[in-house]
Amino acid sequence: MLKKALSAIAIATLALSAQAADVLKIGATAVPHAEILNHIKPALKAQGIDLEIKEFSDYVQPNAAVEDKQLDANFFQHQPYLDTYNKDRKTSLVAVPNGKVHVEPFGAYSSKIKNIKDLKNGATVAIPNDPSNGGRALILLAKHGLIELKDPKSLTPTPLEIVKNPKKLKFKELEAPLLPRSLADVDLALINTNYAIEAKLNPTKDALFIEGADSPYTNIVVARKDRAGGADIAKLMSVLHSADTKKFIQEKYKGAVVPAF
């Protein structure tokens, strides 16, 4: 009888432990963010955290969901985008401590030319329509000598701040997820790597030119100020910064996504 009683207590204790597992709700875009998070779920589970991942296809809703307390955190953006979002929406979301995870080198793609030297005068160039990523596209174009910007140090220039445009390029601003589909209609498109990968483009092979690993646009984990310092967030970042996660990123993305830790 004593053994049965002890067994019952042990089972009840295990059940209570399972029920007591922390649930951490995090929003992410599908590639590579949700893929990375799915990879680390077992490691977090072993630490008593059930990771719930909600996938988004845009760059606005993941922040709105964190601000509205529908999610604890998100993982999809870089600091310049977060700064612009907070300024425009009057929010105060923050990068969590040690929140940097990886860089997705931003690239230029075309279905019409194989070398950037063949870009014709008056060509149409598609860029993201949000200030931080649109500015990032222009900075990359300036770096490769296609345009010159009024303030080379600004991270959020707009087409209005182009002071030299020798090829008389025409700019078409589009929602970031639509950029891969625009390739048939434009001469060149500057595409965020997560959307390039989703569209079966290989950034290291298909991009005419691409950012280096020294890009300031490191992807970060973001939360509200009241959640950023939570123990569960700290555990999340510890697993994201593990040697296993680094190996996963390097082997799966082969340079299209670069660890920043």
Q: What is the pLDDT along the chain (261 residues), one digit of tens a residue?
A: 544 544 544 454 444 444 457 999 999 999 999 999 999 999 999 999 999 999 999 999 999 999 999 999 999 999 999 999 999 999 999 999 999 999 998 999 999 999 999 999 999 999 999 999 999 999 999 999 999 999 999 989 999 999 999 999 999 999 999 999 999 999 999 999 999 999 999 999 999 999 976 788 999 999 999 999 999 999 999 999 999 999 999 999 998 999 999
Please give the structure tokens belonging to residue 44.
């977090």
* Partners of 25 in the β-ladder: 52
What rounded mean pLDDT belongs to the chain? 92
Q: So what's the pLDDT on residue 41?
A: 98
Q: What pLDDT does residue 40 have? A: 98
- Rounded to an integer, what distance in angstroms lies between the CA atom of residue 94 and that of residue 79? 9
Whether residue 183 contacts residue 195, with contact meaning beta carbons closer than 8 Å, is answered with no
Which pLDDT tens digit goes with each residue over 214-228? 788 999 999 999 999
> Cα–Cα distances in Å, from 155 out to 43, 133, 244?
36, 9, 33
Q: What is the pTM of this model?
A: 0.83
What count of residues does the chain have? 261
Three-state secondary structure call for residue 66: helix
- Exposed/middle/buried for 128, CB within 10 Å: 0-12, 13-18, 19+? buried
Tokens read off for 66: 């964190």
Quote the tokens at residue 180: 């891969």
Burial zone of 86 (CB within 10 Å; 0-12 exposed, 13-18 middle, 19+ buried): middle
